[in-house]
Chains A and B, each alone.
Chain A
Amino acid sequence: MTLPTYNFAYLDEQTKRMIRRAILKGIAIPGYQVPFASREMPMPYGWGTGGVQVTAAILGPDDVLKVIDQGADDTTNAVSIRAFFAKTANVATTTKTADATIIQTRHRIPEERLQAHQTLVFQVPIPEPLRFLEPRETETRVMHGLEEYGLVHVKLYEDIAQHGHIATTYAYPVKVEDRYVMDPSPIPKFDNPKLGRSPALQLFGAGREKRIYALPPFTEVASLDFEDHPFTVQRFSRPCALCNATGVYMDEVVTDDRGGRMFVCSDTDHCETRQADGHRGPGLPQLGPHAASDRESAR
């Protein structure tokens, strides 16, 4: 038995070409899901195989790669994917958003505004924004073709009728250039405003579902809403406990079993950069009897 050898960035050249053609089509038709012959990757479906294939198809020897999961560079799956490319493409990696040329992400967009020379690659589990309204691909294809998006609005409005609010908090659907309704991947809706008119190219890869789509730079992206219920994003009432940042997305960290909570930046690089610049947050909440009042202020 001979031991297998692999090409630069793992994928064979024919596969890369096929993915590259799909990427160009995606860029030419913003928000439209281009079918591609997704390959079986050496990591499970649902763990970033779409993003990995897109990254492998665009990556070159001069790139600097950053991989984040939940905003963090050191979550296990991000570590694993970064190690995969460091090994198969011998490419430079970084945790610094500003230093990266390609950023592969799961569930977040970095807080720092991306630049024109950067490409953001999203891992997408279910690329079809209509999937939970209509499970059939044969139907949803036609709905996109006819620009028939009434169902999405009905779903959002049902939430309002039942809860008084739109109950979608992540993977919040957007309309691209007033044409295609698109799933932005399960980013919190907090990140939706960063999708539109970004200087960076944004690529979306769904491996198991075999779809690639794209947002070119400076593309108009509108989160769906209603005149009487405009789109809003999450707000956190307290600054980051570590770096004192406000207006960023936070992780809620359970610090004890008596209601103690602290809120810290979800974007670890953003937080660390701010700390290095001398910003200090209030730190750990006090334990014990004060925990309850801490919970109050968390509201």
Chain B
Amino acid sequence: MSLAFVDGGFAEPVFGSQHAFRALMDAFARPGSIADLSGLAVPPVPMSPAAGAFLLALADQDTPVFFETHMPDAQAWVGFHTGATVTRDAPSARFAHLSDAGDAAAWNRFARGTAEYPDRSASLLLPVAGLRGGQSLILKGPGIETTREIAPQGLPRGFADVMAANRAGFPLGFDLVLVAGGEALALPRTTRIEEV
């Protein structure tokens, strides 16, 4: 392992966190809109700057993080900068960094909350090839005035079915954030996704 985990944190932690959080808050409040998280964090490859900024802003010792693919440098980086523990127990993870070549059906192992506490659920970071230029999807739901169209590239197998089931389970569910480079796009559990 290299010492790559030391560099690449927020230059100014207080304001970097605030900036990243506000962009993410806006992304959650307006599902499908693209949040700019570039220039804030430089995590070791293969983690994207957007995923890095998300975790630096929101993870700490109270939030175990799960990695679907092994990325030792990036994992050490997250641990070093946030104090979060890396867990191998998917149901106890508050955040999960998914594989970019996985199967969406496997997301069912993450916490979806309980009827009394649906907030005790995971947020999943899904690395994709790009947030534009892929097959069009139409979004509806809270945060969207009428409909919003997105076209991410490289969604995993079974994406539509898993997301439909996640929406149907509301208020239980996970919240998904697509990340590519310095950009992020949130698909909270309230969002209905239709293929065009």
Residues of A within 8 A of B (CB): 7-8, 13-14, 16-18, 20-30, 32, 34-35, 57-61, 141-142, 144-146, 177, 179-180, 197, 199, 201, 214-220
Q: Which residues of A are found within 8 Å of B115, using beta-carbon distances?
A: 142, 145-146
Bound state CA distance, A223 and B17, in angstroms?
Answer: 37
Q: Is B183 an interface residue (CB 8 A)?
A: no
Whether the pair A61, B15 counts as a contact (CB closer than 8 A) is yes
Whether the pair B57, A219 counts as a contact (CB closer than 8 A) is no
Interface 1/0 per residue, B1-14 and A, CB below 8 Å: 00000000000011
Partner of B142, one of A58, A61, A216: A216
Q: Is B144 an interface residue (CB 8 A)?
A: yes
11 inter-chain pairs at a CB distance below 8 angstroms, sorted by A residue, are A8-B15, A20-B57, A24-B24, A24-B58, A28-B175, A28-B190, A29-B189, A146-B115, A201-B26, A217-B30, A217-B145
Q: How far is the CB of A17 from chain B (nearest CB, A)?
A: 6
Whether the pair A219, B143 counts as a contact (CB closer than 8 A) is yes
Residues of B within 8 A of A (CB): 13-15, 17-19, 21-22, 24-26, 28-30, 57-60, 62-63, 94, 114-119, 121, 123, 142-145, 170-171, 175, 188-190
Bound state CA distance, A35 and B118, in angstroms?
Answer: 11
Query: With A29-B118, A201-B29 in contact, is A59–B18 under 8 Å at CB?
Result: yes
Query: With A8-B14, A217-B143, A218-B144 in contact, is A27–B29 under 8 Å at CB?
Result: yes
Q: How far is the CB of B5 from chain A (nearest CB, A)?
A: 20
Whether the pair B142, A218 counts as a contact (CB closer than 8 A) is yes
Q: How far is the CB of B92 from chain A (nearest CB, A)?
A: 15
- A214-B29, A217-B29 known, 7 other contacts, Cβ within 8 Å: A18-B62, A28-B175, A60-B19, A60-B22, A141-B116, A145-B116, A197-B145
Whether the pair A21, B188 counts as a contact (CB closer than 8 A) is no
Partner of A7, one of B14, B123, B145: B14
Write the chain B residue with the least CB distance to A19: B21
Q: Which residues of B are found within 8 Å of A21, using beta-carbon distances?
A: 58, 63, 94
Q: Which residues of B are found within 8 Å of A57, using beta-carbon distances?
A: 21
Is the contact region of chain A dominated by helix, strand, or loop, or is it mixed?
mixed
Partner of B119, one of A22, A60, A197, A201: A22
Bound state CA distance, A218 and B142, in angstroms?
Answer: 6
Q: Which residues of A are found within 8 Å of B30, using beta-carbon distances?
A: 216-217
Bound state CA distance, A90 and B72, in angstroms?
Answer: 40
Write the chain B residue with the least CB distance to A60: B18
Write the chain A residue with the least CB distance to B115: A145
Q: Which residues of B are found within 8 Å of A32, using beta-carbon distances?
A: 118-119, 171
Bound state CA distance, A17 and B60, in angstroms?
Answer: 8
Q: Which residues of A are found within 8 Å of B121, using beta-carbon distances?
A: 25
Query: With A8-B14, A18-B62 in contact, is A29–B143 under 8 Å at CB?
Result: no
Q: Which residues of A are found within 8 Å of B28, using beta-carbon distances?
A: 24, 27-28, 216
Q: Which residues of A are found within 8 Å of B188, using beta-carbon distances?
A: 27-28
Q: Which residues of B are found within 8 Å of A177, using beta-carbon distances?
A: 142, 190
Q: How far is the CB of B63 from chain A (nearest CB, A)?
A: 7
Whether the pair B21, A58 counts as a contact (CB closer than 8 A) is yes
Most chain B C-beta atoms within 10 Å of own C-beta, residue among A13, A17, A34: A17
Bound state CA distance, A215 and B190, in angstroms?
Answer: 12
Top-9 shortest CB links A-B: A145-B115, A28-B188, A216-B143, A25-B119, A219-B142, A216-B142, A141-B116, A27-B28, A201-B29
